[in-house]
Chain A
């Protein structure tokens, strides 16, 4: 059974710091992995989608990598800002049950001004 883990559960950093959020999954048989941002009381906003054949995706200050063989993805945020404070979720879409997404429980990020 596919399981997705995000460590740490919470993180506080000073403004301007570069940081890495981690996502690990137990079964490498996935179609893709998606990173989301969730602000308090809000829905999920898609940040980056990495297909199984890709190694990384970039959008602005965000860079996501995928290593299927080790079951890991990282979300790199450069020059963090207070506006980056949110919960970051990763989700994998496994080969089995191809229409489903399996979510991690998220990393709650706080960037201090």
Chain B
């Protein structure tokens, strides 16, 4: 099973450029999440989607937008990248009820 798939795996952007990180899950999960991971700060929630058609801000939403395209896909967009957005980005999904979370392999983004 593929689980949670993120693309791309690596990306280098120049300051001010835009890009979209893609995430897809094949487990028919309702909830999907975007986290960023920075040294010494752990994982911080950027945005989440409790179900298809809904999105909500997490801890650190500034500079990002999301789209829950359908039940499978949840994308994260950086409209104007900044060096402070250099990080590793993880997408995750979870079924409703008491299920645990499943994570993708991450996207390593560098903004120069």
Contacts and interface: CB of A to CB of B under 8 A. Distances in A.
Contacts of A89: 42-43
B41 A105 contact: yes
| Residue among A44, A51, A105 having the largest count of chain B Cβ atoms under 10 Å | A44
Interface string B13-50: 00000000000000000010101000011110100101
A43 B104 contact: yes
Interface string B78-112: 00000000000010101000111111111010000
B58 A46 contact: no
B101 A91 contact: yes
A101 to B, nearest CB: 6
Given A36-B103, A43-B90, A46-B102, A100 B42 contact: no
A100 B105 contact: no
Contact of B45 (A41, A51, A101, A106): A101
Interface in A51-91: 51, 89, 91
Contacts, number: 52
A51 B98 contact: yes
Given A42-B105, A44-B90, A103 B42 contact: yes
Interface residues of A, number: 21
A70 B33 CA distance: 29
Nearest to B56: A99
A93 to B, nearest CB: 8
Nearest to A43: B105
Contacts of A31: 98
Best-buried of B33, B45, B50, B90 by chain A (most CB within 10 Å): B45
Contact of A32 (B33, B40, B100, B103): B100
B98 A44 contact: no
A100 B48 contact: yes
A51 B99 CA distance: 9
Given A41-B108, A42-B106, A49-B99, 17 more contacts: A31-B98, A36-B103, A42-B105, A43-B90, A44-B103, A45-B103, A46-B101, A46-B102, A89-B43, A91-B43, A91-B101, A99-B33, A99-B48, A99-B50, A101-B43, A101-B101, A103-B43
